[in-house]
Amino acid sequence: MELITLSNICKTFKVSQRPQGRFAALRGAFLRQTKTIQALDNVSFSINQGELVGYIGPNGAGKSTTVKIMSGILTPDSGICRILNRVPWQERVKHVANIGVVFGQRSQLWWDVPVKDSFDLLKDIYNIPLPEYSKRLQELTETMQIGSLLSTPVRQLSLGQRMRCEIAASLLHNPQILFLDEPTIGLDAVSKLALREFLKTENKKKGITMILTTHDMADIEALCSKVLVIGHGKILFDGELSELKQLYAPFRCLKARVSQHIEPFPVPEAEQVSFHGDTLSVVFDPGKVPAHALIEYLSHHIELNDLVIEEQNIEAMVAHMYKELSL
Partner 1 sequence: MQSFRLYGKYLKIHFLSGLQYKGWFLMTIQVLFVVITDPIGILFLFSRFGQIGVWSVEKVILIYALAVTSFGLAESFVRGLDIFPWQMIRTGNFDRLLLRPCPLLLQAAGSSFHIHRLSRSFGGLVAAIWCLRLQEVEPTLLNALVITLALCGGFLTYTGVFILTSGLAFFTIRSLDWIYIFTNASYQVAKCPFDYVPRLLRNVFTFFMPMLVVSYYPAAAVCGWGQPYWKGLLALPAGLTFALFAVSIWRIGVRHYQSTGS
Nearer to partner 1, 22 or 106 (CB): 106
How would DSSP label each residue in 46-111? EEETT-EEEEE--TTSSHHHHHHHHTTSS--SEEEEEETTB-TTTSHHHHHTTEEEEETTS--S-T
- Rounded Cα distance, 34 and 31, in Å: 10
Nearer to partner 1, 173 or 226 (CB): 173
- Asked if 117 is part of the footprint of partner 1 (rule: CB under 8 A), the reply reads yes
- Asked if 47 is part of the footprint of partner 1 (rule: CB under 8 A), the reply reads no
- Asked if 273 is part of the footprint of partner 1 (rule: CB under 8 A), the reply reads no
For the chain, what percentages of helix, strand and coil (3-state, to nearest 5) are there? 35, 30, 35
Answer for which of 43, 99, 228, 280 binds partner 1 (CB under 8 A) is 99
> For the CA atoms of 223, 229, 232, 235, what is the dihedral angle to 10 degrees?
-130
- Rounded Cα distance, 58 and 108, in Å: 25
CB of 115 to partner 1, least distance (A): 12
Contact (CB, 8 A) for 55 and 225:
no
Residue 64 phi/psi, 5-degree rounding, is -65, -35
CB of 305 to partner 1, least distance (A): 57
CB of 89 to partner 1, least distance (A): 6
Nearer to partner 1, 96 or 314 (CB): 96
Among the listed ranges 42-50, 66-74, 246-254, 273-281, the one in contact with partner 1 (CB under 8 A) is: 66-74
- Asked if 71 is part of the footprint of partner 1 (rule: CB under 8 A), the reply reads yes
- Asked if 72 is part of the footprint of partner 1 (rule: CB under 8 A), the reply reads yes
- Asked if 61 is part of the footprint of partner 1 (rule: CB under 8 A), the reply reads no
Contact (CB, 8 A) for 259 and 68:
no
- Rounded Cα distance, 255 and 233, in Å: 39
- Asked if 106 is part of the footprint of partner 1 (rule: CB under 8 A), the reply reads yes
- Asked if 45 is part of the footprint of partner 1 (rule: CB under 8 A), the reply reads no
Contact (CB, 8 A) for 218 and 184:
no
- Asked if 65 is part of the footprint of partner 1 (rule: CB under 8 A), the reply reads yes
Cα→Cα distances 63→41, 180, 181, 230, Å: 12, 11, 9, 7
Answer for which of 24, 48, 112, 197 binds partner 1 (CB under 8 A) is 112
User: What is the number of other CB atoms lying within 10 angstroms of the CB of residue 160?
Assistant: 17
Query: Which residues, 209 to 268, sit near partner 1 by CB under 8 A?
Result: none
- Asked if 150 is part of the footprint of partner 1 (rule: CB under 8 A), the reply reads no
DSSP 3-state of 253: strand
CB of 100 to partner 1, least distance (A): 9
Residues in contact with partner 1, counted by CB under 8 A, come to a total of 36
Judged by the rule CB under 8 A, the positions of this chain that interact with partner 1 are 11, 13-14, 39, 65, 68, 71-75, 77, 89, 92-94, 96-97, 99, 101, 103, 106, 108, 110-113, 117-118, 120-121, 124-127, 153
